[in-house]
A and B are shown apart, each in its own frame.
Chain A
Amino acid sequence: MQPVEQRDEVEMLSLMLLIRRFEERASQQYQAQKIGGFCHLYIGQEAVVVGAVAAVRDDDYIITAYRDHGHALARGTSPNACMAELFGKATGCSQGLGGSMHFFDKKNHMYGGHAIVGAHVPLAAGMAFASKYREEDRITLCFFGDGAINQGSFHEALNLIALYKLPVVLICENNLFAMGTSVKRSTSLKQIVDRAEGYDIPGDIVDGMNFREVRDKLSEIVTSIRKDPHPAFVEIRTYRYRGHSMSDPASYRTKEELEKYRLDDPIIRLRAQLTREGKLTNEQFDAFDKKAKETVLASVKFAESSPELPVEKVYNYAYFKGPIEPEWKRREGAPALKAES
């Protein structure tokens, strides 16, 4: 496993590029009706998850809400498995059974993809509880939106996490809006991070458009938690460039606001930093970008040519190791009754 401090920034930049290009392509494929259901894009927020992942070990746990494509990709889930999931294919990270909002990848310690707002925060408490119980030094990173902080499950979980001193980093991706509702209209606090104070959890505010700031703050927190398990809260200020989901025209905000954030783009920013420091040439950047685009295009081909699960497989996923009897068989009459008649 790569010691964290050595994770190459240039690599992290290409990871952000990969997420960006993946989302752009997903958007296009959604419009072409290759992808169904709801689809929430992460464009603009890439530095949050990439910065966080750059600060932890590969075996730390990650859990998030439904805007989850970037989290899976950052965790190492292959673009093929991600695109195939969107296409509903058997080769998808959740075998096409979960869809955009429910990406899971046990191997890479990505524990979903959860679509009920706030409902996964208690799960993070449980995962961290298990680490502590087993005396492991794993940390759980729990990502959620600004909209989640007003759910009861969030509050109950925060108290439990604080009470049991669980090794969770609570990462609020504050992109200023929950659907069409701005934080100002949803939350009684001046700033979200104050939620943590109410539970005696240390909190920080981080600029989510700056990869280095996210990584450095998370590294500091993670080092402290590894020494002695405890929770932490970070409000990471970011922005989603696209609408809430594919069907949202985002008319509740101004063009000027969007433009302001686009100028502060996390990819442009890290690129500029690296270029200034002589660690990256324009040619290298273009090569990374080209590679990201090719990888994503290949993932579309992969998804298109992948098989779907046979329909009867639905009976295998109601219970673990317990396939159930199809309803149509019941309609035909139970086998025992048939034998009698």
Chain B
Amino acid sequence: METARGRASSKGGVVREITYRQALNEALAEELARDPNVFLMGEEVAEYHGAYKVSQGLLERFGPKRIIDTPISENGFAGLGVGAAMVGLRPIIEFMTFSFSLVAFDQVVNNAPNMFMMSGGQFNIPITFRGPNGPAHQLGATHSHATESLYANAPGLKVCTPATPRDAKGLLKTAVRDDNPVLVLEAELLYSSKGMVEPPDEELLIPLGQAEVKREGSDVSIICYAQTVPLAIAVAAQLEEEDISAEIVDLRSIKPLDEVTIFNSVSKTHRAVIVEQDRPFCGVGAEVCYRIQKNIFDELDAPIMRVSQEDVPMPYNERLEKFVLPNADKLMAAVKKVCYA
């Protein structure tokens, strides 16, 4: 496993505990320092250091030429990024949240990923779109979108959803170096969460399309990503007390999807529950579910279950919001159902 455990990293350096936010900040700083073609653009990224303080200190270090505040013009600056990428720059475009990326949907879905095909392979688009994604807390219907299934639906886009500081750093760095459009969907509620990460002088790159088993188990595979990873970890601990051993597969990338890790896990446990932060209809879980039954149908001892949001716009009221979101009770119930417990 790649996870940095204990004091020493695989290369012998000392791992440190940092926040998800710091991890993203380090990834940005390292890639900006490495490649002069990389720049960061978005609302409040420079002087305000990011609405969620992810770009703290970057303006001071890299200057206003490379850390650029924009007006509230998502479609405009997303398109600017795509154009700059066509002629050789490597833009990192921050959406203050991915709910606002919907204003730029045309650029992200219709320009960035289509260019390579349409131009007969002349123009690849090495761009990174990043920012917080997924429901946060009581922000209401317009501000609570999880956009992964919307974007994963578009051919030509890559989509990753880091859940830990280490994955956030490693995936963002990989995204910036990728020669195609990549969306890094950060977990708004996890910005202040902490985790062990290799020291800054050790290059940390996590390939897209590699899931990670975050916890080993034998009775059921809980397939999760982003904000549902900590949820799954908490539920697995509860299940342990009831003698159910859950394996946790963190997808990390939605597209490309790591089928091998999923199939290996489900072939071992013979049961699967997919828990996603997104809405149910045409969701990530539906795709994962299809692939499991298509490829390893005989390994299954129970129908696959999905836990997701309810299929309604997000209400503001706290209790109603909780009711709509996936939660520990729903996940427990689903696991017990597939385990016939």
Contacts and interface: CB of A to CB of B under 8 A. Distances in A.
Contacts of B139: 37-38, 99
Interface string A306-332: 001101011101100000101110110
A150 B70 CA distance: 10
B11 interface: no
A308 B308 CA distance: 24
B177 to A, nearest CB: 30
Contacts of A252: 47-48
Contacts of B223: none
A122 interface: no
Nearest to B308: A327
Contact of B315 (A178, A314, A328): A314
Residue from the set A147, A148, A178, A331 with the largest chain B CB neighbour count within 10 Å: A331
A308 B320 contact: yes
Interface string B303-330: 0011111111101111110011000001
The size class of the interface chain A forms with chain B is 35 or more
A269 to B, nearest CB: 31
A288 to B, nearest CB: 32
A314 B316 contact: no
Interface residues of B, number: 44
A309 B73 CA distance: 36
A233 B43 CA distance: 26
B34 to A, nearest CB: 28
A97 to B, nearest CB: 5
Contact of B317 (A97, A153, A186, A330): A97
Contacts of B100: 116-117
Interface in B37-63: 43-44, 47-48, 51
Contacts of B69: 181, 185
With most chain A CB atoms within 10 A of its CB, the pick from B99, B311, B330 is B311
A148 B72 CA distance: 7
A84 B313 CA distance: 20
Contacts of A202: none
Nearest to A94: B316
Interface in B116-139: 137-139
A119 interface: yes
Given A37-B139, A314-B324, 19 more contacts: A37-B140, A88-B138, A96-B320, A97-B315, A99-B138, A99-B317, A102-B141, A150-B73, A153-B103, A180-B48, A181-B47, A186-B72, A308-B319, A311-B320, A317-B313, A317-B315, A327-B309, A327-B311, A331-B334
24 contacts: A36-B137, A37-B143, A88-B317, A96-B317, A97-B317, A98-B140, A98-B141, A99-B140, A99-B316, A101-B143, A102-B141, A116-B102, A117-B100, A150-B73, A153-B103, A180-B47, A252-B47, A252-B48, A311-B319, A314-B320, A317-B315, A318-B312, A327-B280, A330-B280
Closest 4 A-B residue pairs measured CB to CB? Answer: A99-B316, A36-B138, A37-B138, A88-B317
